[in-house]
Each structure stands twice: as structure tokens, then as C-alpha cells.
Structure 1
Amino acid sequence: MMKQKLKKQNTIPGLVLLLLMFFSSFSASLVAQERITGVVKDVSGAPIPGVNVLQKGTLKGTATDFDGNYSIKLVPGQKKLVFSFIGFKTQEISIGGKTVINATLEENAQSLDEVVIIGYAAVSREKVLGSLGTVKAESIEQATPVSALEGIQGKVSGVQILTNGGPGEGLDIRIRGTSTFEGGVNPLYVVDGQQLEDIDNLNPDDIESMEVIKDGATGAIYGTNGANGVILITTKKGKPGDLKVNISSISGISQLVGDIRVANTRQRLRYERLKAGAVITGFESDTLGILRNYSWDLQKLITRPAIRQQINVAITGGNDKAKFYWNNGFLNEDGIVMNSNFRRLTSNIKLDLNLSKNLTMGTRVNLTFDEKNGLDEAQVFVQLVERIPYFPVFEPDGSYAQEFGGRQNPLAETLATRTNRNYRAQIFSYAQLQILPKLTFKATLGINYNFSKYNNFNPIITLNPATPIATGQERFTNNSDLQQESFINYKNKWGKHTFGAFAGMQTQVWNSERFDIRANFNNEYVETFGNTDPLNIVILNGTDNYRNRYRRLG
């Protein structure tokens, strides 16, 4: 009997040790699989710098260094790496539990023969001496982006894209930092030849390709407008053949990866006592003893899983004489902060005509409506971090509590009305005439119109219960941009030598108007300016109401 007990006692520690060794090796394997390293070379064994390495189906990517080395941290789910670089065939390699994946890329002569439209001329890709990054429609579709710029995130080396994560928020993109005399950082966008300041209204499903010009020499034709780099966007167009209808639908859900770690009441009180010079003895006053167990977790009150729905319906068709493309898109995206939402409706029509052997014409019409509701999510999370944890969210009477020092109650702020609506229309037309076999004339006309309405309403019960006045603001903005270009190109080739000449003129006219009005409301449940005392209406003056007109001829 004693021998059996002794035998059992010796077996249990051995079993525990075996289990510990198994779980240790299993966790080590999991940790190792989170990051993949390797080197990318060509068929001759030379390393290739600047190769884009992307985890397929995600926005996770990196680029190889000067020696062809790369390191990428993976996200769960996807099992393939995609290696791509200009002049080489794209390669996909299964991960399969590996921690080191080396790739050998083969040259793709066909890609070097592709033509890139830079400025006012078509240039063979192999003759572009500057730094040029390319993203095709297939790669954009894999990322299922909400905005056009998300389609190049992690796919072009040296390009940094920043966002605060809120629904419908614009993205900041930096290619070479701040270079313009106005201090801007965003690049110039050229969509089918039309120069734009932003592409927030562009449906990613309409994009055929995106070219990122990262050096000053290649983008010099655009002048100071291209000082921060240039992004060339070619939209999809119709193809000869029978009528085709393509319907795509995407649904998803977003949520916080984890709670933001902030100090609880006990930690905050300890910090305040130390800051005040108190000696921590382990004993607390009655007040501190009550407060230490009194804490509000606002993160659970103001955040939620956010649902996203996206539908596109495209119709294409045509023949050798006429081709058309018509795509309608709908996007509805909730924010992870309560009462935040973004909706967008787009309609893009493109028509190309071959009127004769020497004359071609075309037009593109892009109509967009978008509406953004709710606060800036980054602002809400900053207030969460700064908030004192033992301050109550509600008063005993049920109203929203305010904090000292002018801080707002984050939960109350989510109930305020903040709506921004944009109505946009972009029209671009061109006509090209082949005067001689080597002489071409082209004229373009582009119109970009944007009307926006911003509404801000703060009820008494949400933001400022101490002051029995509800406040509101409305802002109306009209922006229009007219561009006209006429230019003539001559290009000839003798043997291995190519000669080209170019002459043209560009005219651009901007017009901007803004009207801003603020008022106090007698009844917070009626959000119209007819519910105000005329003496409480303030029409802002100075720079808040203006009309501006600017011309440029070049």
C-alpha cells in the first residue's frame, strides 16, 4: 500500500512537468508564427530592394530593405504572402507554419511595356527613371477598402497613411513630408487627367489602377501642386462585348481590439495623494475608503460593435465605336462610438466614343452624396483617458453629470447632434484629334462642384445642464473648380532614339463661398432656427463668411 501511494506521488510531478513542456513548446510555436522573415531575390540571386510584401486579404504589409530582407508581423486567418514589384511577376507563397519564407521573382517584360500617363504625355514604364509605385484593381479589391486611399495602404513603400479610425473620416497621406509653401502634406490627385485636392468621394470599386509618384523629377510637370508627390488614378471603363451586370456585396463588423487601460479609482486616488505630499500608510479616511470602490467604466457605455455594409452594382458594355461603364455604390458604416455613422451613395458613368479613325471623345460623370453623424472618435477617446474615474456619469436626478475643470461628460457628448452632408458632382470630358501620324491635339474640360451643410445642436440635458440654453450652429459651403486644358504633342522615333515636343495651356478657376450661423434655442426639442429669439442669432463675420475667387493660367 505504501509503495502504491509513493508511486502515485512520483507520477503526478512527472505528468505536470510533461504538460508544462508541451504548453511551453506550443506557445513558443504560436509566438514564432506571428512574425515571418525572409529575403527576396531575382533569378540571378541578386537581392531586390523595395519589393512589396503583403499578407493576402489584409492591409498588413511591408517592403524589403536594400539587401532584400523583410520582416512582417501577421494577423490571424490569412495563409498566404504576396510578393510584387514593378518589372517582376507577382508571386504568392503559402505560409504553412513557416517562420522563414524566401522568394525568387521572375522578370515580367510585359509590365515594362505598359504605358503610364504622366502629365500630358504617355510614357513607357521602363523609361520612367523616378520612383513609381503601382497598385492594380485586383489588389485594391482584396483589401475591401471603404475609401480609395485605403487601397494603397501597406502596398507602396515609403507611403504613410494616417487616420483617426472614425467612420467617414478623411485620410492623411504623406509621401515626402511637408514641402509646399502653404504647409500642406497631402499629395496632388489626378483622376483620369483631372486634378483634385481630395478623392474622398471616389468609390474604390471604380478604380482600375493607382500610380504613386514619389520623387520630384517625375512629378515636376505638375509644378508646386505636386511638391508632396502625385497620385495618378485611372478609373474603370467599358469594354466591347455584350451587356454585363456585376453585383458585389460586402458585410463586416468592427470592434475594439481591447479596452484602453486607464487608471482606476484606487490608482487615481493614490496618485493624487502622492502628488499632494501625503504619506501612504495603508490607512484611508472614510471619504477615500468610499471612493476607492466607486468607479465608472465608460468604455462599455459608449462603444459598440460596428456593422458595415457595402453594395456595388456595375453595368458595362459596348462595341468598337462606343463603350460605357456605369457603377452605383452604397455604403453604410457604423462607428464603434455610439451614435456615430457614415453613409455614402455614389454613381459613376463613363462613356468613350471612337467617332472616326482620328477622333475620339469621352466623358465621365461622378455623383456622390455622403452623410457623417456623430463626434470625432479620437476626441471621445481622449476624453475617456483624461476623465477622473470616480466622477459620476449621472446626477441623482438622472441628468448627466459634469466634471470639474470644464471637461465634458463623454457619454453626454455622444447624444449631441453633429451632421455633415456633402453633395458632389465631378464632370470630366475630353476630345483627341490625330492631326498627323505623329502629331496629336487634345482638349479637356473638368468641373468639380461641392456643396456641404454642417449642423451642430447641443441640447441642455446633454452638455451643459447648468445653463438652461440649447445651442446650435449651421454652416453652408459652396466650392467649385473649373479646369480647361489644351495641348499638342509631337513624338517621333528614329531607330533607338525618340524625340518629343509638347506645347499647351491650362486655365483653372476656383470659387468658394461659406455662410455660418449660430443661435441659442428656446426649446431644445425643436432643432430649427425658427425656434430662436432673433436677438440670440449670430451671423459670424470676418473669415467665417466669405466669397473667394482665384484664377490661374499656365
Structure 2
Amino acid sequence: MKKRSNRVGLNRPLKKLLLKMKLTFAIFLFCLVSVSASTYSQVTRLNISLSGNNMVDVFKEIEEQSEFYFFYQREDLKDLNNISVNVQDATITQILDEVLSGTNLSYKIVDRYIIVKQEGSDFGETLLQPDQQKGVRGAVTDNKGEFLPGVTVLIKGTSQGTVTDMDGKFSFSEIPEGAVLQFSFIGMKTQEIAVGSNLVVNVSMQEDAIGLEEVVAVGYGTQKKVNLTGAVSAVKMEEVLGDRPVTSLGAILQGSIPGFTASSSAVPGGGNNFNIRGLESINGGAPLVLVDNVVFNDLYLINPEDIESVSVLKDASSAAIYGARASFGVILITTKKGKRNEKLTINYNNNFAFSRVDNLPELASPSDMIKTLQDGGYSSIWSGQNIETYVGLLQDYISNPQNYPLGWTEVNGTKYFLKQTDVMGDMFETSWKQNHNISVQGGSEKINYRISVGYTDEDGILVSGKDAFTRTNVSSYVSGDITPWLSTSMDMKYNSGDKRYPFLDGSSELGIWKTNLPSYHPDGMLPYGTDGQEYLVMTPANVISMAKASKSVSDDSRIFSRTELKPLKGLSAILEYSFQLSMNDYEAYANYFQVHQGLAESIKPSTSTDPFTTSRSSTRYTTINAYANYSNTFNKLHNVSLVAGYNQEYNDYRYIYSQAYNMISNDLPSLSGTNGATPSQTSDAYSQYALRGSFFRANYNYAQKYFIEFNGRYDLSSKFPKDYRSGFFPSVSAAWNMANEPFMKGAEKVISQLKLRGSYGTLGNQDIGNYGYLPTLPVVDGQWIYNGVEPQTIGNMRMVRANYTWEQVNTINGGIDFGFQNQKLTGTFDIYQRNTIGMLGPGEELPAVAGATAADQNAADMETNGWEFSLNWKGNAGEVKYGLGFNIYDSRSKITKYKNETKLLSAPYYVGQEIGEIWGYVADGFYTESDFDETGALRSDVVSIKGVTSHVGDIKYKNLMDNETSVNIIDQGDNTVNDPGDRTIIGNSRPRFQYGFNGNAEWNGLGLSFILQGVGKRDAWIGGNIKFPMSDQYGTVYKDQVGKIWTPENSTNAFYGRIYENAGSSQGANQRASDKFLSNAAYLRVKNITLSYNLPASILQRIHLKNVKVFFSGENLFTFDHLPSGIDPESLGWTYPHYRTLSFGINLNL
């Protein structure tokens, strides 16, 4: 493990300078605000033109045009209707004198607050009078000017708090110097206000953006969540990332969005896989991922700390504006950019993590393994060790280990390993990861900016530290108003990643080991080869340590510019341009080394040709977006929003590859460093594609009750023949928000939202090769020798279809959004059907004389049905704020059209097939002695397995189907759906009922959060040695298999069929896919638990910081499943394992 030292800080003179600058700026700002407050009411001029309105409407109009805020009692205004006012360039006093003339109302203006009351009433006086005590008082109102009871008011950093009374008032008799008041209320934004020298603090609470006013990213714009008609889900990165020790976007988003599956490789720097609403197409496919409106594919390079939010567009209506690329959903990533009128903020956070594998295959001990082989009838193992001798030696070793100081012995020239070792565990070590991020952001009235730098250094869990990943991210964004009607922005990003991983030649034989092989090699204490030279034993740890590490370096640079013109109110024209250059350099060397096989006297080389490989690829990607937005409200009831524009993309990819063999130097491999014994190889590739499209979106809603939206896009793609390149992809969606209907009046406090949605749309899929429509000639090796070499030549032309075109995806979606108790409880439910039509599949068969295989054509269809549900609750329990969330979704896909008339099961698909079907036999116990006659043959009335001579203790299967040629015989029939023999559908490998559960709580600066994620139903056929003991000649025995193998003495408690020496005889039939050995792959994983603490304001003031948070976090802490040890439920195989991570860190705000 490498040790690293990192020091982040400022020297003392620089600290003092920054402090003086901050104090000077604060004093200047205070003076400026004070002067502004005293003159605002005198200099502000308003234009008010209303006719026949009530007094409340007049006050609202004034508030919309100014920063004034009214306090009043509704009872005082209830009879003031049919008011008309028409003033131009008037002050607030002139307007109020006019509208209140002839009433018994008076007003009082203090700063920007206006109190309107009955003559002689003392309403509002207490809000404006200083408290004579050494404390603070005030009142809290909602955005309608009405007082809010029950608002929690805390003195931040202390346990002192109160709640507002029925009149919205609060008071503290004593407060500490520099106190900050924190106001929180369900459905409202939490606010923090520094008391300073004020004795009165009045607060106007605004609706929480998490509720009805939340704005989410949609295609080429944003929309209020409450106005959405399509299936859109959004999360804020700060909520799902928090302080977790995770640098992969897929791992962060997993389990957070219904209908959305995210996963990432556990390998450092591994890629991300996203899926929206189940299987996309039989030809693959993935959601379109856009970062700030531009395609971004290498998501492992992106820094999650730079992300503001993620929106997922799941149905055709929300994704149709992206046309050909959005057939399987869209993921919109919005990065952080700083805000207007935001003070300069410097943020630094770090995360230090330790990881360790906690789910390894548990191998049987040497004595249990050899005893199992003895019980199974083995006389010796493949490497020559006699079983009876082995059993005796192990028994003696257990009783007298001092007699075998080396942990092994030799009998008649054959080695017997006796000592228990941890072959699996020895290949792993505790890994170390660190993550650092620093950002500077802020803004004024006309400019906002953000600059950030991120660094990640992650060691993997394999010994020797050869699996590692480092990433550097630099981001710079600035946006400014050139004039009131013209603004521009520039976003520049640089991302670099360096991945390392141990590399072996693909033809290497180094992959066989036993539980009793030592993973270490003390000098002079291990076996020698027949040549007398000492070799390391072939264990995973030794192989990994000796192998060289491959190196993959990726660099991604991006420039994104945006110019916005606002010629008219409500109208904006936008031009976006981006250029992205992505490069990758790869280098790998399968170095030559030798290891001792261990059990057998055999020396194994790591490679026969020690190839050295280099490659380089580059991608240049250019995007132009030009579009216009228009929005307006007519008569306060008719809300219209329009988007129309043009999109153009161009992608240029280049690749070059070289491989040389037989290196002269094992330490300095190079393309020129070969001895020439094996010819070197080179190849290259290049490709381009282009896409042009025009798009539109039209929204209309009446009184926030009835909504309708139209989307459409016309695309041209270079991936199809000239006459089939175009496609038009429209959609329509509508919604009805019943909560805003007159008949729902009086139920607002119970039902805050109740919206029904429906949508239908068509999308295209161009996620195929760039030149699939062209008849290409492959370069192949010749079948003859010329001048001592095998020449290359041209193979047969690949046939293509002239009408090769888009796959089409039609989606219908219905949903409901609901909110109760002022958005304390919110949720969504969606049900959908997606039909993928014209998938590329096998075409009509050609006669043999054609000399080529049939071209693929748009000849396959698939139907996907699913639903999703989410529920969220936010509440207070005294001074504890908490939130809970749950989401779940399910989908199933079946083939509705495919060229496989006979429905062969050996073909990839057939009509009626549910994707993920697992076919197998139905186990019916074991063959017993009563199943055989006196000659040892199976009785005629007992089922037999075709081509297999079964014995007592073998697995017996049920006879499910007979025909004229197969009676009471277990076979595959014609291997078709109609005649599958004795197989049936025993399970399905697709995950069902995927769910996530999260929660958080906060009290006096302490925070606790958790994330759970899992799959409710899934079947898995794993097979192999990890499932079956001694599954092949070189197999082994796992701990949970001991004592479960059929033997004559263990016939009643057996789970596995009998085993045979070197896995011969009928053992293969005992390992066939069957319901008996099908694994339940459902699981629940505790993804994260985080505990954090924010330092109190009293300490922050002394150290001159805005905020300091320290945290401790754990990732992948526990997993509950039914799988064999060592099998992870996400990967369902013995691959690079997921690991448990513990981390700590700090977050500082200057």
C-alpha cells in the first residue's frame, strides 16, 4: 500500500488578508443595504392598472412589481371588492392613499414591509416595536401574507428552540451573540437568518422547491414539476450523494429513482450501466445521457461533486424531443454553475476511505475436501496423489502438526499439501481511497461563475496495488449579461482518468488452484521444479503479484458556449455550441514468468509469446443547438409555452492498434523490442456519423388545472440508407390536476396535489453500427501459404437490405401524482406499455448457392409492460427533522415477432418468449437401488436419461413429455417450444420488483441517513464449481458443499448427486439445469449509512468559516441474499467482488 501525504491550507499572512477583505466587504454591504432600505419606498415607482378586483389582488400586484410585502388580516379586506386603480409611475404612498381612500383602513411602511389594519387596531404593532428584553421576537408568514403557526424556530448550533403561536409569533428572552435563527416548516423552504443587532426578525416562508414549485430539467429547458404531463423523475445530487465514499455515478443513483436501474463495476474506474424501464431491444441499447444538453458517454470520468441534479425522462412524451437517440429514455445531468447575487463561496471537501472484501468463496479445509473425495469413491486425484495416503497424512497432520513444519510432505516423489491456507483471501488486501474537491463560486446581479478542481485516487483490493484508478477534474463556468437582452456563458471542462489492472495473456493456463496450496513462498521451504530451480506456487496472489499491470489513460476535454437573446418579453433565442475531444491510450504487456503448478510436478509459463499491445483512439464530437423559447400567461388563466429548434451532431472516431511478440527485454517491452520470432500485427479503424434534427414542444394549461403537451422531432441519421434516413417522432400528453378544481376547495390542507397523467408517443432507435447498410468486404487470412507466410485476402461480401432503417418504439403511459398534508406525503404511480417494432433480426433464409448469409432486416418486435411507484414523507418530531422515501418498479418483456417459425430453443428468440426465461429439468430425487434390477440395469418403468448410464445416487428427473420415439426417456425432444422434451420453464433471470428505501434525520447539527436497495424476485442459474462440488476434473469442494454429497451412508441428507473420479461417468447429468439447483437471486443491500455533524455557529464565528461538517460513512455494509458465498447478487458470478467501504471526511465552507 502506498503512503501519501496531502496538505491543504493557507499561510497565516494570506489568511489575515482574506479576513480583512471579507470584513471590508461585509461593512460596505451593510452600509449599502441600510441606505437602500431607507430610500426604497421613496424611489420605487409602480404602474398599476386593475379594474373590478378585490383588495387582495391589488396587494398581490404590488408585490409582483416590487419588493414590498403586505401584512393584513383577511377579515379586514373581505368586503373590499370591485376596486379599480390606474396609476403610472406612482410611489407606494400615492397608490395606497388612492386605494384605501374611503375605507376605515390605515397603513404603515417599515422598510419593505407594509402593515394594513383597521383604524385604532394594534394589529402588527408588536412586529415593529423593539423588545425591551435582551432577546429577539418576530413573526412568520406564508407567501400569502398570512401568519403561520407551528413553525420551528431554532437558535442554530444550540438545543434552544421554540415554535410560533397561533398568530405566527415567536420570541426568545435571551440569545447568544452572533446567533443565527433557523426557521423550518413542512412544505416550506428552511431559512437561516443572522440576528445581528436586530431585535425584531420577521420572516416570510416560501414554498419548498421539493414540493409543488420544484423545477426539473426537461428537453431543451426546464418545467415546474407540478406542470409535468410526462413520466419524469428527478433527484438532487446533494441528496443521493451526500457524504458517501462513492465516485461512480451509477453507484450513487442506484435505487434512488423508480423505473431506473443504475449499476457500476466494482473495479476501480469501472464503467456505468444505466437502464430505464427494462430491456431496451434485443440488439441492446441504453438511455441517452446528456450533460448540460450535450452527449457524454464516458461517465466514469465525470466528477459527481460537479453535478447539481439528474432528471430521468422515462416515457415517449418527455423524451420525444430528442427523437432518434431517446428510444429508451433520457438522462439529463445538470452541473453546478453558481448563482446570481451569490456571495463568494469557497468549498472544500474530502473523503478518506478504506475498503475490504467481505464476501469470498469459502473453500473446504484440506481434510474435508479429501474426505469428500474419499466418500465419493476417488482413489486418486488428477495430479497423482493417492486418496487413502492423503487421508492418513491429514489425520496425522491434525494430531501432530509439529511433524510437518513446512506444511507439506513428500511420499514416493509426490507432494501432499496439508496446511490450511486462505487462497482466496490472500489475493486481496485492504484498499485505500481519497477524494478531494475544491470549488469557488458566486455571482452578482449580472454575472455568475464557478471554478472547481477534483482529484480521486483509488487503490483496488487486489494484492500488489496493480488495480488502481486516479481521476482529475477541472471545471470552469462563467455566465454574464452583456445587455439586458443579451447574455452569454462559457463552460470548459477537462477530465482525465488513469486505470491500471493486472494483465495476463488471454491464452494463459494460469487459473487452477486448490484450497491446500500455500499462497506464500518462504525461502527454501517450498517445492522445487524438476530442474532444481525454486518457483512460486500458482496461486492467485502469486500470479497477480508477478503479472504486469495494463494501463489505460483517458482524457476528455470539452468546451460549451451558450448565447441567449431576449428580444421580447417571454421570448428567448438560444444558440449552443460544444466541441469535445476524447482520447484514450492503452498499453498492456503479458510478461513472461513461470510458476509451479503445485499438486503436480509441472512448471506453467504465463505466456508463450509474451505479447506487448498498444492502442490509441480519439473521438471528436461537435454539437450545435439553436432553439427558441416563448412563454406567456393570458388573462391569468391561459398559460402557453413553446420551444422550437434545430440540432446537429457530428462524431469522428479514429483507432490504431499494434501488437508485438517475444520481447527481448521482459522489463522494457516495446513494439521495436521484439526478436521477430512471431510477426507483429497492426490494424486501424475509423468511422463517422452525423445527425440532424428539428424539434418542437408546445405546452398549454388552463388555470393550472388542465394540461396538454405536444412534442415532436424530425431526424436525419447517416446510419441508414439515403432513402430511409429520415423519421418523424411525435408524442402527446395531457394531465388534470384535480387539486385545483373548485370542488376541492376546503381540502387544500389535506390534498395539496392530485394529478392524473396520460401520454402516447413514438421514438426511433439509431443505436446500431455506423455502416450496417453498406455491403462490406472483410479482410481474412488466406487458406494457403505463399513464400512461407499465410497471406491476407478479401472474403465474401456481406449482404445488406436496401430498406434497412429505424427501430421504432411506441410507448403509452398513465400515471398519477399526489400530495397530502401540504406535501408532507407525496408520491407517484405509473403504468406503461412499450412496443419496440422493427428490431434488426434474421432475415429470410437464402439458398446455399447464394454464397452468403441472409442480411439482417427490421423483422422483430418486442412488448414491455411495467409499473413503478414512489412514496416520500417529510416531517418533524419535535426538534428532529426527518424524511423517508420508498420506490419500487417492475417490468416484463416478451417477443411478439421473430424469424423462428419452428420456435427452436437453440435460437436466440421465438414468438411468445418472455425475456429471461430459464429452461431446465424438474428434479425428482435420486435414483435408488429399487430403480435397478438384479443386473444393475434400470427397470423399464423407471425414467432413464438419454445417452447416460445412471447409477444409484444420481439425480433423477421427472418425465414431462413422451412421444413416439421417446417413452419414459429424459431428453430434449425436438428442442422446440412445442416439443422441448422433458424441459420446462423453471425460472427467469430478469430482475423483478427492484426497490430502494432511504431516510434521513437531523437534530441540532447531527445528521443520520441511510440507503437500502434490492431486488424482490430473480432466478439465477449459476452452475460450475461454485455450485457443484468437483464439477470437473480440476474442481474443488466448497465449505457449504461438505456433507451434502450423496454417498451410500449419506443418502437421506444429501443435496447433491454422487460425484465420480475426475468428474467422469454420469456426473455431467447430475449438473444439468434443473429447478433443484436454481438459485434465488433476490437480495437486500444496505448501500449506505452516514453520520454527520455540523459545527455550531458559536465555533464557526471564532474560526471565520461559514460551515464545517464532519462525517463518517459506510458503503455496501450488509447484504442479505440466498446465494453461495462469494457470489455477489449484482454480478451473479465470481468476478471482481463488491467490497465494504468505511470512510470519513470533512466539508468546509469559507
TM over 0.5: yes
Alpha carbons 1:141, 1:205 under 8 Å: kept: no
| Matches for 1:290-309 after TM superposition, within 5 Å | 290=393, 291=416, 293-309=418-434
Offset at 1:392?
A: 6.0
**Structure 1 residues 358, 462: CA separation in 2 closer, same or farther (over 3 Å shift)?**
farther
SS at match of 1:217: helix
Choose the corresponding residue for 2:621, options 481, 485, 492: 481
Offset at 1:535?
A: 5.8
Alpha carbons 1:345, 1:368 under 8 Å: kept: yes
Find the aligned partners of 2:605 and 2:425 in 1 and give their Cα distance: 24
| Matches for 1:183-332 after TM superposition, within 5 Å | 183-184=284-285, 186-239=286-339, 240-272=341-373, 284-287=387-390, 289-290=392-393, 291=416, 293-332=418-457
Choose the corresponding residue for 1:445, options 577, 582, 603: 577
Find the aligned partners of 1:165 and 1:134 in 2 and give their Cα distance: 25
Offset at 1:529?
A: 2.4
Choose the corresponding residue for 1:528, options 670, 673, 679: 670
Offset at 1:449?
A: 1.5
* Aligned AA (1:189): V
Bigger CA drift: 412-421 or 447-456? 412-421
Aligned to 1:548: 687
SS at match of 1:470: coil
**Structure 1 residues 109, 450: CA separation in 2 closer, same or farther (over 3 Å shift)?**
closer
| Matches for 1:373-392 after TM superposition, within 5 Å | 373-375=500-502, 387-390=513-516
TM-score by length of 1: 0.71
Choose the corresponding residue for 2:543, options 372, 392, 412: 412
Aligned to 1:334: 459
**Structure 1 residues 519, 137: CA separation in 2 closer, same or farther (over 3 Å shift)?**
same
Alpha carbons 1:213, 1:219 under 8 Å: kept: yes
Deviation string 1:316-339 (CA, Å, 9 cap, x unpaired) is 233222222110011111111122
Aligned to 1:121: 221
Aligned to 1:103: none
Higher RCO (CA < 8 A, seq sep 6+): 2
| Matches for 1:500-515 after TM superposition, within 5 Å | 500-515=641-656
Q: Does 1:497 align with 2:631?
A: no
Bigger CA drift: 502-511 or 409-418? 409-418
Gaps of 5+ in 2: 1-185, 191-206, 381-385, 394-415, 522-526, 596-603, 694-1150
Aligned to 1:370: 497
Alpha carbons 2:271, 2:299 under 8 Å: kept: no
Bigger CA drift: 426-435 or 528-537? 528-537
Alpha carbons 1:519, 1:538 under 8 Å: kept: yes
**Structure 1 residues 295, 514: CA separation in 2 closer, same or farther (over 3 Å shift)?**
farther
Higher share of residues assigned helix: 1
**Structure 1 residues 348, 553: CA separation in 2 closer, same or farther (over 3 Å shift)?**
same
* Aligned AA (1:223): G
* Aligned AA (2:215): V
Deviation string 1:75-96 (CA, Å, 9 cap, x unpaired) is xxxxxxxxxxxx96799xxxxx
Find the aligned partners of 1:540 and 1:509 in 2 and give their Cα distance: 27
**Structure 1 residues 539, 228: CA separation in 2 closer, same or farther (over 3 Å shift)?**
same
**Structure 1 residues 376, 354: CA separation in 2 closer, same or farther (over 3 Å shift)?**
farther
Offset at 1:260?
A: 2.8
* Aligned AA (2:671): F
Find the aligned partners of 1:462 and 1:119 in 2 and give their Cα distance: 58
Deviation string 1:328-352 (CA, Å, 9 cap, x unpaired) is 0111111111221111111011111
Find the aligned partners of 2:425 and 2:209 in 1 and give their Cα distance: 55
Deviation string 1:297-324 (CA, Å, 9 cap, x unpaired) is 2233221111111111112233222222
Alpha carbons 2:590, 2:607 under 8 Å: kept: no
**Structure 1 residues 89, 534: CA separation in 2 closer, same or farther (over 3 Å shift)?**
farther
Find the aligned partners of 1:274 and 1:227 in 2 and give their Cα distance: 57
SS at match of 2:442: strand
**Structure 1 residues 213, 411: CA separation in 2 closer, same or farther (over 3 Å shift)?**
farther
**Structure 1 residues 409, 258: CA separation in 2 closer, same or farther (over 3 Å shift)?**
closer
Find the aligned partners of 2:647 and 2:424 in 1 and give their Cα distance: 53
Choose the corresponding residue for 2:557, options 425, 445, 449: 425
**Structure 1 residues 172, 271: CA separation in 2 closer, same or farther (over 3 Å shift)?**
farther
SS at match of 1:355: strand
Offset at 1:125?
A: 1.1
SS at match of 1:523: coil
Find the aligned partners of 1:292 and 1:528 in 2 and give their Cα distance: 40
Deviation string 1:226-246 (CA, Å, 9 cap, x unpaired) is 233222111111233454322
Deviation string 1:438-474 (CA, Å, 9 cap, x unpaired) is 3221111122211111111122116862766532111
**Structure 1 residues 146, 288: CA separation in 2 closer, same or farther (over 3 Å shift)?**
same
Find the aligned partners of 1:212 and 1:238 in 2 and give their Cα distance: 23
* Aligned AA (1:146): T
Choose the corresponding residue for 2:277, options 176, 179, 202: 176
Deviation string 1:13-71 (CA, Å, 9 cap, x unpaired) is xxxxxxxxxxxxxxxxxxxxxxxxxxxxxxxxxxxxxxxxxxxxxxxxxxxxxxxxxxx
Alpha carbons 2:251, 2:264 under 8 Å: kept: no
Aligned to 1:60: none
Find the aligned partners of 1:289 and 1:455 in 2 and give their Cα distance: 50
Find the aligned partners of 2:674 and 2:461 in 1 and give their Cα distance: 34
Find the aligned partners of 2:544 and 2:245 in 1 and give their Cα distance: 31
Find the aligned partners of 1:466 and 1:138 in 2 and give their Cα distance: 47
Deviation string 1:223-272 (CA, Å, 9 cap, x unpaired) is 24223322211111123345432221211111122543133434444555
Alpha carbons 2:374, 2:388 under 8 Å: kept: no
**Structure 1 residues 389, 148: CA separation in 2 closer, same or farther (over 3 Å shift)?**
same
Find the aligned partners of 2:273 and 2:364 in 1 and give their Cα distance: 31
Find the aligned partners of 2:429 and 2:517 in 1 and give their Cα distance: 22
Bigger CA drift: 174-183 or 188-197? 174-183
Alpha carbons 2:503, 2:588 under 8 Å: kept: no
**Structure 1 residues 491, 540: CA separation in 2 closer, same or farther (over 3 Å shift)?**
same
Bigger CA drift: 148-157 or 189-198? 148-157
Find the aligned partners of 1:275 and 1:213 in 2 and give their Cα distance: 57
Offset at 1:110?
A: 6.5
* Aligned AA (2:469): F
Aligned to 1:519: 660
Find the aligned partners of 1:539 and 1:198 in 2 and give their Cα distance: 28
Find the aligned partners of 1:181 and 1:440 in 2 and give their Cα distance: 42
Gaps of 5+ in 1: 1-86, 92-106, 403-407
Find the aligned partners of 1:274 and 1:478 in 2 and give their Cα distance: 59
TM-score by length of 2: 0.36
Deviation string 1:414-458 (CA, Å, 9 cap, x unpaired) is 432211111111221111111222322111112221111111112
Q: Highest Rg: 1 or 2?
A: 2
Alpha carbons 1:399, 1:461 under 8 Å: kept: no
Choose the corresponding residue for 1:457, options 585, 589, 593: 589
Alpha carbons 2:189, 2:209 under 8 Å: kept: no
Find the aligned partners of 1:88 and 1:272 in 2 and give their Cα distance: 67
Find the aligned partners of 2:606 and 2:651 in 1 and give their Cα distance: 45
**Structure 1 residues 467, 212: CA separation in 2 closer, same or farther (over 3 Å shift)?**
closer
Aligned to 2:231: 131
